[in-house]
Structure 1
Amino acid sequence: MTSLMVDLKDIPTIQSVEITDDTLSVDLVDGRTIAVPIAWYPRLLQGSAKERQDWRLIGHGAGIHWNQLDEDISVKNLILGQPSGESQPSFQRWLSQHQAAD
């Protein structure tokens, strides 16, 4: 039996980001592309197309930040296939505030 070992010290940085109504795709500087469903990130799923496009790289390309959605996603979590760990009560508070602002 083999096991996957990930050396978290050598995580590549983000080169580019593309987000659609269904998918977050990230091109890494090592040539890999990682695509995940935005349903993994409820704040992205609930955000408008305009809000989803308002992102910036953080940590010299170690992650992505959406200011209007108050969402941060790291390359590490994308590589490890980890969806949002936000609790349901926290998300519901955010959603109530987000909808009230619209």
Structure 2
Amino acid sequence: MSSTAGNNLITNVPAIKVWVEHRMIYLELSDGRVLGFPADRFKLLKAASDSQLQEVKLELKGHALRWENLDEDLTVQGILEGKFQLPLEPST
């Protein structure tokens, strides 16, 4: 039996929507998946204010996230692969 589920995770799938709620960044991908990650997993985003986080835009036909005011860029592919700068902090 073959499975493609693992391969779909790392396929270069663009995002069609990005939004921020309570310091969580959410992406809707073109294949219908929705995923989220804490802003605090990236150094510049962790230091950003809530209003600065809200200014995220999709770039490169949905393959990148851009915060112009922070001069920060993240690739959708890197997020899908779990390439975060900082470890997940335990809930308090």
TM-score scaled to structure 2, two decimals?
0.75
Percent of pairs with identical residues: 22
Letter in 1 for 2:75: S
Structure with more helix by fraction: 1
For the aligned residues, what is the CA RMSD?
A: 2.2
Runs of 4+ in 1 over 2 A off after TM superposition: 4-8
Does the residue aligned with 1:68 lie in a helix, a strand or coil?
helix
Structure 2, unaligned runs of 5 or more: 1-5, 87-92
Letter in 2 for 1:45: K
The structure showing larger relative contact order (alpha-carbon pairs under 8 Å, at least 6 residues apart) is: 2
TM-score scaled to structure 1, two decimals?
0.68
Q: How far apart are the structure 1 equivalents of 2:82 and 2:44?
A: 17
Structure 1, unaligned runs of 5 or more: 86-102
Q: How far apart are the structure 2 equivalents of 1:35 and 1:81?
A: 11
- How many residue pairs get matched? 82
Letter in 2 for 1:79: L
Q: Is 1:79 paired with 2:80?
A: yes
Q: How far apart are the structure 1 equivalents of 2:84 and 2:21?
A: 17
Q: How far apart are the structure 2 equivalents of 1:7 and 1:22?
A: 23
Counterpart of 1:52 in structure 2 is 53
